[in-house]
Amino acid sequence: MKRGFFLRSAFLATVLVVTLSLTAFGFKWPWESDDKGEVGITDTEIVIGSHQDLSGPIAGWGVQTKMGLELKVKEINDAGGIHGRKIRLVVEDNAYNPAQAITVTNKMINKDKVFMLIGNMGSPTAGATKPIISKKKIPQMFPLTAASLFFEPYDRYSFGGFVPYYDQARVLTKFFVEERGKKRVGIMYQDDEMGGIMKKGVEDQLATYGMELVAAESYKRGATVFSTQMAKLKKVEADLVVTATVIRETVGALAEAKKLQWDVDMCGMSPAYTGYIPYLTGKAGFSADGYYAAGQSPYIYPDHENPRAREFYKNYKKMFGKAPDLPSTAGYAAIDVFERVAKAVGRDLTREKFIDQLETWREVPDEIFDGSPFTFSPTNHQGADQATIFEIKNNKWVKVKGPLSYKK
């Protein structure tokens, strides 16, 4: 019995010595990873998370964003991944509910062990999860909102990506005053934080010319009648009506202008820069042609001038059986940026190295959709401050000019 004990002990000691010797010379067993324990990174994959509205009031946008994310991930993986690693995409439904967004974010962090989060949908939902993600020192990039809370105050782990409403308003105002000669600018705005920020942008830009709004007519969120506001704006003879509105309210304002037989230039910002505007006005029996909006990137049609955009359109339609919309391009572009940064970092990808690399970007162009360039630094994570002016012509959004900055 003692002899057996000593033989087992000798065997285990030999195994230990051999193992330590092999380890000292850098040998790794097949099941060991080359990585140093970075969360969300293995030898073969990178785990990325995103929460979208897939069942709530803006599910149309969330589903399209998810499709854009999925298409770009598939293309990367089909091409061999990033330095040999495939992307595993985890998309959860936030239902446009902050409490649910928090629940699914904690699940992605604690169970799925995501490397980072990309393209989270909505100001209230992405806003609710931002402090949780940042506290864990997990990068979060390009939430689908133009709210400034994702880059002000500065947060090392949070990167914006969309031109803020304030900047959009100033760009629009500058364009119409300087290039279209507008002298009497009025505004119809939603009486909330979004509308207030847009209104301030218009006012601040007008102040640089020694001008003021000739009228500022507000409405409560959820309103469906805008006859009073538009009648007052016509009465003061506004030659430009800025609509700080979303979809339904924009259509309502355009309808009222038609009823008043008022041929006035009207423009809005990114919440109104959507294919729903020409679609819904068409259903209502009139055209939205001549309506302008500030946006970040051109609408993607089959005849887009950029061959990469045309390829995106073709591949998206083949994969999902429908044409892409702007949220689709936002999701696709977000993963494209991730790929470019991760490739630049190299095989030794970590969260901190990813952030350091992204902070070196200066005026980096959108190479696919011809949208606003991105700039990041160790003190500024806003990302984009240039907007493009678009106009509806023949029921399609057409680029007028841009990208433009009110600062230049």
Q: What is the pLDDT of residues 158-206, one digit of tens each?
A: 999 899 999 999 999 999 999 999 999 999 999 988 899 999 999 999 9
According to the model, what pLDDT value does residue 37 have? 72
pLDDT band, residue 25 (cuts 50/70/90): very low
- Could you tell me what percent of the chain has a pLDDT over 90? 80
Whether the per-residue pLDDT at 3 is higher than 60: the answer is no
Tens of pLDDT, residue by residue over 344-367, are: 999 999 999 999 999 999 999 888
Distance of CA 37 to the CA centre of its chain: 29
According to the model, what pLDDT value does residue 222 have? 84
According to the model, what pLDDT value does residue 280 have? 94
Type of residue at 400: V
Phi, psi of 331 (to 5 degrees): -65, -45
According to the model, what pLDDT value does residue 192 have? 87
According to the model, what pLDDT value does residue 28 have? 46
Pick the CATH number of 45-163+303-377 from 3.40.50.2300, 3.30.70.260, 2.60.40.10, 3.30.1240.10: 3.40.50.2300
Residue closest to 266 by CA, chosen among 218, 234, 298: 234
Whether the per-residue pLDDT at 68 is higher than 90: the answer is yes
DSSP reduced 3-state for 156: coil
Q: Which residue has the higher pLDDT, 29 or 76?
A: 76
Tens of pLDDT, residue by residue over 366-378, are: 889 988 899 999 9
Mean pLDDT across the chain: 91
Pick the CATH number of 165-295+390-404 from 3.40.50.300, 1.20.210.10, 3.30.530.20, 3.40.50.2300: 3.40.50.2300
Q: Are residues 216 and 199 in contact, defined by beta-carbon separation less than 8 angstroms?
A: yes
Q: Are residues 121 and 80 in contact, defined by beta-carbon separation less than 8 angstroms?
A: no
Measured CA to CA, the distance from residue 47 to residue 371 in angstroms comes to: 27
Measured CA to CA, the distance from residue 385 to residue 171 in angstroms comes to: 9
Q: Which residue has the higher pLDDT, 280 or 408?
A: 280
According to the model, what pLDDT value does residue 19 have? 44
pLDDT band, residue 20 (cuts 50/70/90): very low
According to the model, what pLDDT value does residue 7 have? 43
Helix axes 59-78, 326-345, angle to 10 degrees: 40
According to the model, what pLDDT value does residue 32 have? 44
According to the model, what pLDDT value does residue 305 have? 87
According to the model, what pLDDT value does residue 26 have? 43
pLDDT band, residue 312 (cuts 50/70/90): very high
pLDDT band, residue 12 (cuts 50/70/90): very low
* Average pLDDT estimate for 234-262: 96
Whether the per-residue pLDDT at 29 is higher than 50: the answer is no
pTM, to two decimals: 0.82
According to the model, what pLDDT value does residue 237 have? 98
DSSP reduced 3-state for 49: strand
Whether the per-residue pLDDT at 239 is higher than 90: the answer is yes
Whether the per-residue pLDDT at 91 is higher than 60: the answer is yes
Q: Centre a 10 Å sphere on the Cβ of residue 55 and count the other Cβ atoms it contains.
A: 14
According to the model, what pLDDT value does residue 137 have? 98
According to the model, what pLDDT value does residue 198 have? 95
* Average pLDDT estimate for 398-405: 94
Q: Are residues 21 and 64 in contact, defined by beta-carbon separation less than 8 angstroms?
A: no
Q: Are residues 263 and 210 in contact, defined by beta-carbon separation less than 8 angstroms?
A: no
Tens of pLDDT, residue by residue over 110-139, are: 999 999 999 999 988 999 999 999 999 999
Residue closest to 142 by CA, chosen among 330, 349, 408: 330
Residue closest to 329 by CA, chosen among 22, 93, 119: 119
For 175, residues 6+ apart whose C-beta sits below 8 A from its C-beta are: 389, 401, 404
Q: Which is it for strands 140-141 and 116-118: parallel, antiparallel or unpaired?
A: parallel
Type of residue at 1: M
**Three-state secondary structure readout of 179-240:** CCCCCCEEEEEECCHHHHHHHHHHHHHHHCCCCCCCEEEEECCCCCCCHHHHHHHHHCCCCE
Whether the per-residue pLDDT at 61 is higher than 50: the answer is yes
DSSP 8-state symbol, 31: T
- Could you tell me what percent of the chain has a pLDDT over 70? 91
Q: Centre a 10 Å sphere on the Cβ of residue 166 and count the other Cβ atoms it contains.
A: 22
Tens of pLDDT, residue by residue over 203-230, are: 999 999 999 999 999 999 889 999 999 9
According to the model, what pLDDT value does residue 30 have? 41
According to the model, what pLDDT value does residue 408 have? 81
Out of 1-15, 25-39, 112-126, 167-181, pick the least confident. Answer: 1-15
